[in-house]
Amino acid sequence: MNADAALDALVRKSHGRLLSLLAAASRDIGAGEDALAHAYRAATESWPREGIPTNPEGWVVRVAKNYMLDVRRSHFHARGKSLYDDDGRLMDLVAEGADDLEGEDGAAHDRRLELMFAAAHPSLDDTIRAPLVMQTILGLEVKEIAPLFCTPVATMAQRLVRAKTKIRDAGIPFAIPERREWPERLDAVLEAVYGVFCAGFDDAFDTVEEHRLGDRGIEAMYLADLLASLLPNEPEALGLAALISFSASRAAGRTADGKSFVPLEDQDPRLWDETLIYRASKWLERAASYGGFGRFQLEAAIHAVHADRKRTGAIDWRAIAHLYEGLLHVAPTRGVIVARAYVVSKVASVDAAIAALNILDVEQIESFVPALACRAYLREQKGYRQGAISDLAKAVSSLPEGPTRAHLESERARLSEGETAAT
């Protein structure tokens, strides 16, 4: 592996852990980000010339720590103060934090949970908590986060900066809160972990030929399992762990030859991972034992019905439709509305499915690829081939190269060929 590839792999795999360590030690997310950026730049200059360090994580955090010390030293000297006056303890924490990365195995002390719960503090606006967790702990870029929350990139960037500043200036503690304080923060943490898992899935399948989870997907699954283990009596934490394991179990069936996306109902269940399905089932059973049905439990239950096709060879669409009715009540998101509309076409009629999809207005449909794909399917069922082709063209034009785009392009080509043959 060359130096550039080694640094890229480190950033993708370890950025969140390294940032959480530096930010928790300095009580300043922005300072930690600046220090890591400096260390990454230093690595691009040093590693090609001097070779990849034996402990890359330790090297990066050591350079970042020294940069933070230099910045603080300059700040203090400019004001005629000693580095260790007043904030001496702060600098000791930075120095101590780096030592966690200098052991034999180079494994970072995982302080992400502390930073996750700081980012989800109730004093922050509830609309920024999940995006802040996604960016700082789980490594998504602003341009990846903003579309998930239907927010312009510039607006999301400004909100994230303001939130980090508030954490620093208000002295919000970087610590796992007492259990009684978890409920008011947990939703944002779970939402962020799931969002990163989905992004990690998409990223992996757009860049590799082999079917596997990307580094983000693996990290998100680890964090979901960790949260479920720490909160064994919290149904939604258990539900998220189940949902992610069910989804991860289908990695090998999600693309055809590593090139084109395969819809869930068309996947070969023999390719699904039985171990992950079993683990997901156990998480879901435990969640169900507490009663009540939250968003992640319901989504996991839908995935469980699909997973049962590995045993029965059939999909129980009526059970799925029933679960989507509950999910629509709990979390009426665009994704849920679109998925429910498709399921309605399976258990009722195409006209009923169109009505279900039209809960969304035209702009909401045409700005959301899954909605365009669903409308294209429904239009084809009604014989409106040209409308379906138009929808698929719009969907393809808004996607980057990758398996999902390849699948929609093949569907558009199939319909176009049929249209030509008909005329």
* 26-58 pLDDT per residue, tens: 778 888 889 999 999 999 999 999 999 989 988
Band (256; pLDDT cuts 50, 70, 90): confident
Contact between 333 and 311 under an 8 Å Cβ cutoff? The reply is no
Band (13; pLDDT cuts 50, 70, 90): confident
Residue from 53, 55, 87 nearest 68 by CA: 87
Per-residue pLDDT, 168: 87
Write out the two tokens for 151: 């927010």
Q: How many residues does the chain have?
A: 423
Mean pLDDT over each residue of the chain, to the nearest integer: 84
- For the ranges 136-140, 158-162, 208-212, 254-258, the maximum mean pLDDT occurs at 158-162
Contact between 142 and 156 under an 8 Å Cβ cutoff? The reply is yes
Whether the predicted pLDDT of 208 surpasses 50: no
Phi-psi region of 292 (alpha: psi -120 to 50; beta: other; left: phi over 0): left
Band (223; pLDDT cuts 50, 70, 90): confident
Whether the predicted pLDDT of 413 surpasses 90: yes
Write out the two tokens for 399: 């996607």
Per-residue pLDDT, 211: 44
Per-residue pLDDT, 79: 56
For residue range 337-386, what is the model confidence (pLDDT) as tens digits?
A: 999 999 999 999 999 999 999 999 999 999 999 999 999 999 999 999 99
What value, to the nearest 5°, has the Cα angle with vertex 224 and ends 219 and 227? Answer: 125
Band (317; pLDDT cuts 50, 70, 90): very high
Whether the predicted pLDDT of 72 surpasses 90: no
Residue type, position 105, single letter: D
Q: How far is CA 322 from CA 317, 360, 384, in A?
A: 9, 20, 29
Per-residue pLDDT, 324: 97
Q: What percent of the chain has pLDDT over 90?
A: 48
Band (421; pLDDT cuts 50, 70, 90): low
- For residue 253, the 8-state DSSP code is G
Per-residue pLDDT, 103: 39
Mapping DSSP onto H, E and C, the string for 108-175 reads CCCCHHHHHHHHCCCCCCHHHHHHHHHHHCCCCCHHHHHHHCCCCHHHHHHHHHHHHHHHHHHCCCCC
Task: Please classify residue 237 by burial: count the beta carbons closer than 10 Å to its beta carbon, then call 0-12 exposed, 13-18 middle and 19+ buried.
Answer: buried
Band (78; pLDDT cuts 50, 70, 90): low
Band (188; pLDDT cuts 50, 70, 90): confident
Per-residue pLDDT, 390: 96
Band (77; pLDDT cuts 50, 70, 90): low
CA distance 236 to 187: 8
Range 118-124 average pLDDT: 88
